[in-house]
Amino acid sequence: MVDHDLKQREPVINLIPYYLFKGIIITPVFHTYFRGKIHGLEKVPLEKSLIVVSNHASYFDPPILASSICRPVAYMAKEELFEVPLLKQGIRMYGAYPVKRGSGDRGAIRAALQAIREGWSVGIFLEGTRTSDGRINEPKLGAAMIAAKAQVPLLPVCLWGTEKILRQGVPFPLPVPLTLRVGNLVDPPSSSKRFALEQVTEKCATAINKMHDLGR
């Protein structure tokens, strides 16, 4: 289990590049080029750690999600990226945390728990990989497991339209309309037993798919 003495917010030094990158690049592109809409921001707690769970259909999803819910969201990145000069400082400042290739689920869980101890919101794609239609069909239990160990809530978020940004044969991102919806907080599982993890995982997947069905 994670210590209950968790930091309330992300380190201040990390917030500076986050808001700079968000304000100068991501937010203007999202709202102008992609005509982005956001619903439910009032549901995002601005203090204390949590796990943001979402669907995943595009390489654009992490920066869009992390820049749209009013606080940074840390995502795992392969350890090799943290060996590249300048890049390692940049991604670490923006909240990325390293996971060793081949370490499996245990390595990812340990890295996510450490980010939670440091006050971050940790982002996890519920299906673990991209899907062609943006819906969640086979959710994995990893997010619920981390929530159970850390005893922090999960926040379902739905990205709609991102699967259309990149098209084979087109060398640039298409200006498709995007929508982001924030759901209600979900309490962490009461235990790490499979049944408890499956219940919470299914609750999150159902909430995300229902928001996806709302469309634009």
- In this prediction, residue 176 carries a pLDDT of 97
Query: In this structure, what token pair is assigned to residue 118?
Result: 């440091």
- In this prediction, residue 138 carries a pLDDT of 96
Query: In this structure, what token pair is assigned to residue 134?
Result: 């943006």
- In this prediction, residue 181 carries a pLDDT of 98
In a domain, 5, yes or no: no
CA dihedral 88, 31, 183, 150 (to 10 degrees): 10
CATH at residue 63:
3.40.1130.10
Give the residue carrying structure tokens 């929508």: 179
Q: Any idea what DSSP says for residue 147? A: H
97, β-bridge pairs: 76
Structural domain range at position 53: 12-23+47-165+177-213
23-41: b or e for each residue (b if 16 or more CB lie within 10 Å)?
Answer: eeebbebbeeebebeeebe
DSSP helix/strand/coil, 85: coil
User: What is the domain count for the chain?
Assistant: 1
In a domain, 57, yes or no: yes
Closest CA to 55 of 121, 122, 128, 108: 128
Q: Any idea what DSSP says for residue 41? A: G
In a domain, 209, yes or no: yes
In a domain, 38, yes or no: no
Residue 56's CB is within 10 A of a number of other CB atoms, namely 22
Query: In this structure, what token pair is assigned to residue 55?
Result: 């669907």
- In this prediction, residue 11 carries a pLDDT of 81
- In this prediction, residue 14 carries a pLDDT of 82
In a domain, 73, yes or no: yes
Query: In this structure, what token pair is assigned to residue 114?
Result: 């450490």
Query: In this structure, what token pair is assigned to residue 28?
Result: 């203007």
Would you give per-residue pLDDT tens digits along the chain (216 residues)?
A: 555 567 888 888 888 888 888 899 899 999 999 999 999 999 999 888 999 999 999 989 988 998 899 888 988 877 887 788 877 777 777 777 777 765 557 878 888 998 899 888 999 999 988 999 999 999 999 999 999 999 999 999 999 999 999 999 999 999 999 999 999 999 999 999 999 999 999 999 999 999 999 999
- In this prediction, residue 5 carries a pLDDT of 65
